[in-house]
Every structure is written in C-alpha cells, then in structure tokens.
Amino acid sequence: MTNSFTLAELGWGPFFQQQLTLEELEANTVARVISHHKSQLQLLAPLGETALHLSPTMPSLCVGDWIVIDQQGSFVRKLERMTLFSRKSPGSSINIQLLAANIDTVFLVMSLNHDFNLSRLERYLTLVNEAGAEPVVVLTKADLCNHTETLRNQVQQLGPLLNVVCVNALDSDSTCSLRPWCAPGKTLAVLGSSGVGKSSLLNTLLGTGSLATARIREDDSKGRHTTTARSLHVVKNIGLFMDTPGMRELQLSDVEEGLAVTFSDIDALIQTCRFTDCSHKNEPGCAILKALKSGELEERRLQNYQKISREQALNSASLAQRRAKDKALSKMYRATLAGNMKRKT
Ligand SMILES: Nc1nc2c(ncn2[C@@H]2O[C@H](COP(=O)(O)OP(=O)(O)OP(=O)(O)O)[C@@H](O)[C@H]2O)c(=O)[nH]1
Ligand SMILES: [Zn+2]
C-alpha cells in the first residue's frame, strides 16, 4: 500500500460519527465500501484496504457505504446513508438496485455547444435531488461559445440557488471555480452525455493521470480488467471520486421527492390553483395558466415537468404492479406446493 488516509479523508464526518455509541467505537472499527464484486466487497479504512466476503445475512450494500466491522474484520452493521442513488434493476426485474451511497456533490456536465439542453438537465437534476446530493451544473467548452452568459442565465432560471459554473475543461485556471466542491473528504461524482468533457474535466481537476492510476487497482496482477463496476477512488489532497459507469441512463422511477425539489416553483403554483384537482387546461383561477401567460413560467419547463411526472408515475406503477404480481405468483406457488405435499401424505 502506498497511501494511507485518515477517516476524514475517506469522507467520515459527524453524520456518521453520531450513529455510533462509545462502546461500539471502542470494540469496533469503521470502513468505507470502495467497490462491490460478486461475492465480496472491497473496503478502505485508515489501516488500509481489506476484502469482506458477502453473506446472505448482510443487508444490501453499495459503493460509498460506511460499515462497522469488528476486530476480526467481520461485518457488524451498515450506517445510515446521507445520500443514495438507486434505480430499478435493468431488464424486467422488480428489484431496486443500489448504485452509490454518500455522494456529496454531483457535477452535471453539459457542453455549451451541441449538447446544451435544458430539459435533459432537468432530468439529471431530478435524479440528483432524489438522491439527496448537491448538484453543480458545469457548462463546458466555454472557450468555444460566444454567448456563454446568455446560456448560463437560462440554466440559472431553473433555480435561483442552483450552482452554475462555466468552464474550459482543458484549462486548470478555468476549473478553479470548482475547487470548493473538491476538498479532502468530499465525495464527488460526474454525470453527463458522451463527449461533453467529463474525462477532460476530471483530468484537469484531479491532475492528469490520477484517475488512470486509481483505475489500475481494478486490474489484476496481469493487467487485465477484473471489473467495470462502480468504484470509489481517493485522490490525496483533493477528495474522493465515484466512478459511475452505468449511471448515465436516465430512466426515472420513484423520484417524487426529486421532482418536488427540481420543480419546486411549479409545485408551489399548483398549490394555489383554485381547484385541488385542476388540470391546468382551462379552469378559472388556475395559477399555472396565469404564470404561463405572464411569462413567469416557461411552457417548455411545464411540459418537461409533466413528461417526467408521467414517466415516473408509469415506471413506479409498473414497478408496484410487478411487485404485486410477483407476490401473487409466489403465493400461488406456495399453495400449489402445499397442495402437492398434502396429496403425497
Ligand atoms: N475546447 C474545449 N474542448 C473540450 C472541453 N472539454 C472537452 N473538450 C474536448 O471534447 C472532447 C471530448 O471530451 P471528453 O473529456 O473525452 O468527454 P467525455 O464526457 O469524457 O466523453 P465520454 O468518455 O464519451 O463520456 C475531447 O476532444 C476534449 O479535448 C472544453 O471545455 N473546451
Ligand atoms: Zn391549475
């Protein structure tokens, strides 16, 4: 091992500390999950890296989790998460898949040229707000754009408190403005479409090669890649970086909270419509129609809100439906099995 880290450098803080009793602290130690393999977790603690074999009695864990382990290195318990990214498992499974825990900040990267799209950004914001992490919108390729301020203002319209930063991802002076979110102990993830400059940004911020070096740990001794799964990397003096392959697809389900935060302006307007079941089409006293007319609310934003709401309702309903169907099916299996057993006796 070439590096050792303090608990604080690994992301430890009061939120986790207060979950432990003094007795627990004396008898045990804590560690952070840095990668998740088929049968084991890789953990990082101030004393170094260890593996923990998964057992069926353990709760579901994911990269970024903090766990308590005893002196023998056995699992004791999982600590409550500060933030959590999860999604419906790919395919038709009814399971919720945990993606990454305890990410503090997500850089939502969008370029100021061809990729610029406010509705897509709202989808990303919904995802990040649902997880409880802090979004920072990073608009790249500022050096190639001659109306940066106009586009920046359009993004700022999505939320007065939203962090919006324009950068040239290839220039370290320019990316300085992102430093406040890259401090030791801060866990960072980067999301955005292909080609927008995510890798360039990380290389500029973290120092060229740091990530490449970190990724080598995922190779076996023969230099073969053993995993392409999500993993957490500590970069000395800079912070923690969550590598998140597979988190790019934007299928939204169970994101009610994220929607409410991202579209809090629309939520607030709906509360003031005269009728509680207002469809915002032609009712008198409709606050949404009034805001559209006055220009306070943009038609595009409303339509995107309605689209994401429909999608989330549909996905969540089908998820609930599948859960119910699965339950009914296993009940039927059990009944059939019990019937067969009876006949045999
Ligand atoms: N001029 C300029 N070029 C940039 C900027 N950011 C990225 N690029 C260039 O855009 C191209 C794509 O950048 P990448 O960093 O590979 O993009 P990415 O988001 O990591 O792409 P994927 O790996 O496909 O997800 C590269 O040629 C970069 O040099 C920027 O701010 N300004
Ligand atoms: Zn209305």
Q: Name the fold adopted by 256-341.
A: Ribonucleotide Reductase Protein R1; domain 1 (1.10.40)
Task: Give the residue with greater pLDDT, 95 vs 123.
Answer: 123
First to last CA, the chain: 62
Ligand 2 centroid vs 287 CA: distance in angstroms? Answer: 5
Query: What does the buried/exposed string (b/e) look like for 150-188 if buried means 16 or more CB atoms within 10 Å of the residue's CB?
Result: ebbeebeebbeebbbbbbbbeeeebbeebeebbebbbbb
The predicted-structure confidence for 40-94, as pLDDT tens digits, reads as follows: 999 999 989 999 999 999 999 999 999 999 999 999 999 999 999 887 665 545 5
Atom 29 of ligand 1, residue of closest alpha carbon: 200
Euclidean distance between CA atoms 224 and 13, whole angstroms: 35
The finding on whether 36 has its CB within 6 A of some atom of ligand 1 is: no
Q: Name the fold adopted by 8-80.
A: OB fold (Dihydrolipoamide Acetyltransferase, E2P) (2.40.50)
- The tokens for 8 are 């604080």
The predicted-structure confidence for 183-240, as pLDDT tens digits, reads as follows: 999 999 999 888 899 888 988 988 765 554 444 444 443 444 444 578 899 988 889 9
Ligand 2 centroid vs 155 CA: distance in angstroms? Answer: 25
pLDDT band, residue 333 (cuts 50/70/90)? low
Name the closest ligand to CA 169. Answer: 1
Q: Where are the domains of the chain?
A: 8-80, 85-91+98-243, 256-341
Atom 6 of ligand 1, residue of closest alpha carbon: 197
C-alpha to C-alpha distances, 12 to 148, 232, 233, 291, nearest whole angstrom? 38, 14, 15, 44
CATH numeric code, 85-91+98-243:
3.40.50.300
The finding on whether 199 has its CB within 6 A of some atom of ligand 1 is: yes
State whether residue 128 is helix, strand or coil: helix
ipTM value of the model? 0.97
The finding on whether 256 has its CB within 6 A of some atom of ligand 1 is: no
What is the arithmetic mean of pLDDT over 32-45?
93
Of the chain, the percentage scoring pLDDT greater than 90 comes to: 61
pTM listed for this prediction? 0.84
Atom 7 of ligand 1, residue of closest alpha carbon: 197
Which residues pair with residue 137 across a beta bridge? 108, 164
Contacts of 107 (CB under 8 A, 6+ apart): 136, 138, 178, 181, 188, 189, 190, 191, 192, 198, 201
